[in-house]
Amino acid sequence: TEYIVLIENDEDADEVVILQINQIDEETEEYVSIDDEDTLNKVFELFKKKYEGDINFE
């Protein structure tokens, strides 16, 4: 499963939006909200780890 994390392009941004990517066909995909809190937290932790040092998460 793939996810997309959207964050405002602003130093003061304090929220992200995490969406699941569903592949419809070779050229089409849809972005779906995630209801499972555990999945959201896991994806966010991976995102923070990947961008540690680039984005201030505090």
pLDDT in tens, 9-29: 877 778 899 999 999 999 999
Asked if residue 56 belongs to a domain, the reply is no
Asked if residue 7 belongs to a domain, the reply is yes
What pTM value is reported for the model?
A: 0.81
The first and second tokens of residue 20, run together, are 């699941």
Asked if residue 55 belongs to a domain, the reply is no
* Percent of the chain residues past pLDDT 90, beyond the cut: 71
User: pLDDT tens digit string along 26-51?
Assistant: 999 999 999 999 999 999 999 999 98
CA-based diameter of the chain, in Å? Answer: 38
The first and second tokens of residue 26, run together, are 């070779």
Residue in 35, 38, 33 with CA at minimum distance from that of residue 18: 33
Q: Supply the pLDDT for residue 48.
A: 92
3-state class of 36 per DSSP?
coil
Q: How many domains does the chain have?
A: 1
The first and second tokens of residue 5, run together, are 């994390």
Asked if residue 58 belongs to a domain, the reply is no
Q: Supply the pLDDT for residue 45.
A: 95
Asked if residue 33 belongs to a domain, the reply is yes
Range of the domain at 14: 2-50
